[in-house]
Amino acid sequence: MLEKDFRQVSCSTCHQRKENLLGGLGCDEISHIEDHKSCNYYKKNQSLFIEGSYPRGVFCINEGRIKIYKRGNEGKEQIIQIAKGGDLVGFRAMFSEDVYKVSAETLEECNICFISREDFLSLMDSNPTLRKGIIKELSTELADRANFITNMAQKSVRERLAFSLLLLMDIYVGEPINLSREDMANFVGTATETLIRLLKDFKEEAYIETHARKITVLDRNKLMSIAGI
Amino acid sequence: MLEKDFRQVSCSTCHQRKENLLGGLGCDEISHIEDHKSCNYYKKNQSLFIEGSYPRGVFCINEGRIKIYKRGNEGKEQIIQIAKGGDLVGFRAMFSEDVYKVSAETLEECNICFISREDFLSLMDSNPTLRKGIIKELSTELADRANFITNMAQKSVRERLAFSLLLLMDIYVGEPINLSREDMANFVGTATETLIRLLKDFKEEAYIETHARKITVLDRNKLMSIAGI
DNA sequence: CGAGCGATTGAAAAGACTCAACCACCGTGG
DNA sequence: CCACGGTGGTTGAGTCTTTTCAATCGCTCG
């Protein structure tokens, strides 16, 4: 269904760009990126980058969703974040001058542009708006992660699931949440079986409904009260 | 013992500054800060800032340790980070143009300088080195927190305790770890009683020794293997 | 010396995980 | 067209870690 979009995207007309961190660029800057970026189609479950490799640039998601995750000692994934169209991904490691500490993989078919490290950094040097946007973004995510840590440490799995479903609603706007049970468990931070049992509870209590793997939230307020918001 | 340091500190001779993010400042910049900063002595358990308030500047710790924490729904603290002499604290919320999402409180007697928001931001505008340092710091902490989240989600309390003790060794260099059991439990993310029981285990297995509340690590390697490093 | 807080211990309960089995759907190849 | 194999989803049962609640201890500070 997305076939029409799976081709070279133009930054100058890209609606995603206008809303994201690159929204404040000038015409000359855009045309420079336009000439230097590459634009690629990704299949489901394809890797963008993996933990331990060196960053070569940033990914600008045009269409599709990707998971950012970290592997624990037993190889189990912990999903840290799910990014969607419009999000910039992979720039953190570039700044820390270190290898990636997380991995990124598509959750569905994606269309993603790539801007090289050099181009992006020089853009940042010359554009204070972009710079401030990046710093603000980093700071906001830092606060999000402090919250994530606190949730992990103090909330029950049931509470975390409610919280996660609310987060996922903002990532799957206007469509049902569509994640494998395993990915969802790795996002909530629990075992797949536990996740399934709790989803069943929520379904029986009519907070959500499911069609195959797809989940629709029916009672947002109730989930908020369970999550403790 | 620290009485001698509890007075006005000079940035130009401050050893902490030379090692931290402000190490790359020029003479004129330093003297400007020198004139505008304030320097304060804090007692133990004093608050630097609390969640929900607006940031008015950054704190530069000259001496002493502070905890950065977030309160969960039941009011329980989750310690996100422990900062020590030389660390800059409280600048993240300044960039996100939002209220603090965490609180900060001294763990012991401290000597802390304060630089106003305006001074710090103008310094950042004019000094690319500082700017890059800040961005790098934010990125590094983001990676640390991804790791923290993964630990919380996947490791047992025993493993997390071993990991936390190793982190604390780097914060209490050359002296025993000195935290209340409750603070330590809130750092590890567990109940105080559970923490105490596990400390007892570690003591019986001779990985650590304790004198009153103070903890000395005896077998670093063993802790590393327990933590899974 | 007494109050009170932090530290410690014990016992019971609860939450979550593991393991094992089963089901359901889907695409493939005969 | 259908049997087959495989993956992902679901369920059950038992176990174990961790929490909770309650009680005691011990030290420090007025």
Query: 92-111 in A: which are within 8 Å (CB) of B?
Result: 92-98, 101-102
Q: Report how far residue B147's alpha carbon sits from residue B160's, in angstroms, rounded to the nearest whole number.
A: 12
Residue B3 has pLDDT above 70, yes or no: no
| Domains of chain A with CATH codes | 17-150 (2.60.120.10), 156-227 (1.10.10.10)
SS3 category, A66 = strand
Number of CB pairs < 8 Å for A and B?
131
Chain C bases having any atom below 7 Å from a protein CB: 6-11, 15-20, 25-26
For the cut 70, the answer to whether the pLDDT of residue B125 exceeds it is yes
Instruction: Work out the mean pLDDT of chain A and round it to a whole number.
Output: 93
Tell me if A177 sits within 8 A of A165, measured CB to CB: yes
Test A150 with B93 for CB contact under 8 angstroms: no
What is the least distance, in Å, from the CA of B108 to any CA of chain A?
Answer: 23
B65-96 tens-digit pLDDT: 999 999 998 899 999 999 999 999 999 999 99
- The CA distance from A104 to A49, in Å, is 5
- Spell out which residues of chain A touch residue B102, defining contact as CB-CB under 8 Å: 143, 146
Three-class SS of residue B190? coil
Query: Band of the pLDDT at B200, cuts 50, 70, 90?
Result: very high
The answer to whether the CB atoms of A138 and B135 lie below 8 A apart is yes
pLDDT band at B176 (very low <50, low <70, confident <90, very high): very high
pLDDT-derived band at B184 (thresholds 50, 70, 90) equals very high
In contact, B138 and A139? CB cutoff 8 Å: yes
List the single protein residue with the shortest CA to C1' distance from D17. Answer: B156
A98-108 per-position pLDDT tens digit: 999 999 999 99
The answer to whether the Cβ–Cβ distance between A135 and B95 falls below 8 Å is yes
Are residues A120 and A67 in contact, defined by beta-carbon separation less than 8 angstroms? no
* A148 Cβ under 8 Å from any chain B Cβ: yes
Which residue of chain B is at minimal alpha-carbon distance from A132?
B95
Write the CA distances from A87 to A45, A60, A208, B118, B220, integer angstroms.
18, 6, 27, 30, 41
Q: B89: part of which helix (H) or strand (E)?
A: strand B88-89
| pLDDT at residue B6, rounded to an integer | 57
Instruction: Give chain A's residues under pLDDT 50.
Output: 1-4
With a CB cutoff of 8 Å and minimum separation 6, the contacts of B138 are: A95, A135, A138, A139, A142, B92, B95
Whether B1 shows a pLDDT value over 60: the answer reads no
> B48-67, pLDDT tens digit by residue?
999 999 999 999 999 999 99
How far is CA B136 from each of CA A8, A115, B132, B139, B220, rounded to the nearest angstrom? 32, 19, 6, 5, 29
Distance of C1' in C16 from CA in B114, Å: 46
Cα angle value B173/B170/B218 (rounded, 5°): 70
- At A109, give phi and psi (nearest 5°): -60, 135
pLDDT at A7: 67
A197 CA to D13 C1' in angstroms comes to 14
* pLDDT bucket at B208, cuts 50 / 70 / 90: very high
Please state, as a whole number, how many other Cβ atoms lie within 10 Å of the Cβ of residue A145. 21
List, for residues B30-39, the tens digit of each pLDDT value: 988 888 899 9
Q: What is the pLDDT of residue A2?
A: 45
Question: Please, how many CA atoms are within 13 Å of residue A32, restricted to the half-sphere of its CB?
Answer: 13
Whole-prediction pTM value? 0.95
Question: Tell me, in Å, how far CA of A70 is from C1' of D20?
Answer: 32
For residue B101, the distance in angstroms to the closest alpha carbon of chain A comes to 6
Is A169 near strand C, with its CB below 7 A from some atom of it? no
**Contacts of residue B50 in chain A, CB cutoff 8 Å?**
none
Residue B54 contacts A where some CB pair is shorter than 8 Å? no
Under an 8 A CB cutoff, do B139 and A141 touch? no
Spatial separation of the C-alpha atoms in residues A176 and A196, rounded to whole Å: 17
How does residue B7 score in pLDDT terms, banded at 50, 70 and 90? Answer: low
Q: What is the dihedral of CA A152, A158, A160, A161, to 10 degrees?
A: 140
Cβ contact (<8 Å) for B80 and A149?
A: yes
Interface membership of A141 toward B (CB under 8 Å)? yes
- Residue B2 in this model has a pLDDT that exceeds 80: no
